[in-house]
Structure 1
C-alpha cells in the first residue's frame, strides 16, 4: 500500500479559548486530523462534532501527535497543562502570550525534556484567523528546524514570519508592535477628548485623524535609519528644540478644553530631558536612548 500523497499532518491543540478554537477550526477545515484538549472539557464538544478527537487529558493529547500547538491563558497555564505530559520527541509550538524571558526559559524546559521548541506571537484577533485577506500573521522564533518542518501547517490559520533562533524574539516583536499600537490609541484618545465637548462630530474627525496617522508612518522608517546610523540630526526638518517650544500650546489647549494632559506629559518630559542634554538639532529619536538607560 502506498502512502497517500495528500495526507495532512496531524495536530494536537491544547487550549480552546476564543483563539485556540479559531485555530483548531481552520486546521479541521483544511483537512488536518486534530486532537484537542481543554481544561473545561465542554469546549471540545463543538469541535468533536466537526471531526476533532477530544482527549481526556493534556498528556493524552500530547501523546497523540508529534506537532503540539499550545494556546493557553499564560505561562503558568502552560506549566500546569504540560506537568504530566511526556513531550520527548515532540515539536512544541507555543502560541501562548508570554514575555521574551518566559519564552527563553520554556526553550530550556523543552530541551531538558527532549522536545523541540518554537515560540509564537499572534498578530491577529480570532475573527482574522483563517481569513487570509484579513492580514493576520504569527511571529515565530526558536527552532528553525521545527519552523521549516511545519511551516505549511502553521500558515493554514495565519501568515508566518520567522524572526530568529532566539526563542524570545517572537514575544519581543509581538510586544513591541502592540506597545506602538497602544501609543497610537493613546494619541487618538486624546484627540477625540479635545473635541468631546464641542459641536464637532467625531465621525467627521475620524478620517482626518486616520489619514494624518498614515501620513506619519514614514517617520518610523526614518527613526530606524537614524538608530542604525547613530546620526539623529541627519535630514531633520522639525528639530527637537522647535518641537519642545511648541509643547505649551498642546498643554494649554488641553487645559482650556477641560481635558487631562496625562497621556502627553510623560512624552513631553522626555523631549525636554533630551533637549537639556544638547539634542536640540536632532529629531525625536534620542528619546529612545532615554528609555533604555
Structure 2
C-alpha cells in the first residue's frame, strides 16, 4: 500500500475539520461526538432529512457526497455495507483525501477497498467499531475502533479518531481491522448461544432469570481467561500444555449436558455442533489434550469441519 498522492497535504489544526458520509445511528453518534469536541463536521446522507437533523447541532450539510468529500481532507465513511460505499463514492474525486472506512465489512472488503482508494489517489484506513451507538463519545464506555491500513494516516489523525472512541491500530494489512472485529463478534455469538441454552434450561422451573443472571455472568467471567492458555497452546502447537480438563473427560461430560437438556425439554441444537467437533478430535487420538486443537478441524485447508 502506498501513501503517495498527487496533491499537497493540508496542514492539520487542533480541531481537524472532517467529513462524515452516513447519518444512520452510528454515523450520527460519531458526528455528535466530533461536534461536541469542537471539530467542524460536514455531513452527507443519502436520505437528506437525517443529515439535516444534525445541522441544528452545528454540522454543515452537503447536498452530494462529492461536495462533502471536496470539503475536507479527512473523510469518514459509515454506511450500510461495502456496496453502499462504492455507490456513494462512484465518480467522486478522492485525490489527496484521507479516507477512513468505518462501514462493517469483511477482510476481503477492506483489502479491495484499500486498493480501490489508493488507485484514486487517497490514503486509506479500514475500521471495525467495537461499540453500539450509545457507547460512542461516552466517557468510560469501553468503546474502541480497530484500524488497519495506512500507518501514516493513522498516526496523523490519531487524536481526531480517538474523540468518539478509543483506537487500536492492528497493522498495515487493510483487512486486519475487519478480521479482528469479526473474530471478536464470532466469539460473542458463540457465548450468546450458550447463554440462550442456559436460560432455556431454567425457564420452566421456579428459578428467576434475574437471580440466575449474576451466576451466569460471574461464571463466564471466570472462564474467560482460558483464552490465554488457548493462545499459548496454539502458538507452541502443544495442545497438552497445562491441561486442566482433558478432551476425553470433556466429551464424557457432554452426555450429562445432553441428558439434562432432554429432561428439561430443551433442544440441544446450539450445543451439538461443537460437541461433534470434540468427538472428531477425540477420535483422532487427542484425548489427553485440551480442546484447543479443534481449531485445526475448522481450517478448511486441512479438510475442515465438513470432512
TM-score by length of structure 1 reads: 0.97
Alignment partner of 1:13 is 2:20? yes
Aligned partner of residue 69 in structure 1, secondary structure: strand
Q: Which residue of 1 aligns with 2:212?
A: 205
Q: How does 1:218-233 map to 2 (within 5 A)?
A: 218-233=225-240
Matched ranges for 1:1-293 at <5 A:
7-293=14-300
Unaligned regions of 5+ residues in structure 1, if any? none
Q: Aligned equivalents of 1:133 and 1:112: distance in 2?
A: 39
d(CA) in 2 for partners of 1:99, 1:183 = 19
Secondary structure of 1:36 counterpart: strand
Name the count of aligned residue pairs.
Answer: 290
Q: Deviations over 1:172-192 (max 9, x none)?
A: 000000001111110010000
Match of residue 3 from structure 2:
none
State the Cα deviation string for residues 31-69 of structure 1 (Å, max 9, x = none). Answer: 111100000001112211111110000000000000000
In 2, Cα distance between equivalents of 1:96 and 1:90: 17
| SS of equivalent residue, structure 1 residue 133 | coil
Give deviations 1:243-292, integer Å, cap 9, x for gaps. Answer: 11111111111011000000000000000000000000111101111011
Question: In 2, are the aligned partners of 1:238 and 1:283 still within 8 Å (CA)?
Answer: yes
Work out whether residues 274 and 287 of structure 1, in 8 Å CA contact, stay in contact via their aligned partners in 2: yes
Deviation at 1:6, TM superposition (A): 6.6
Distance in structure 2 (CA, Å) of the matches to 1:202 and 1:147? 45
Summarize deviations over 1:102-131 as a string: whole Å, max 9, x none: 100001101111110000000000000001
**Superposed CA RMSD:** 1.2
The structure 1 segments of at least 4 consecutive aligned residues displaced by more than 3 Å after TM superposition are none
User: TM-score under structure 2 normalisation?
Assistant: 0.93
List alignment gaps of at least 5 residues for structure 2: 1-11, 301-307
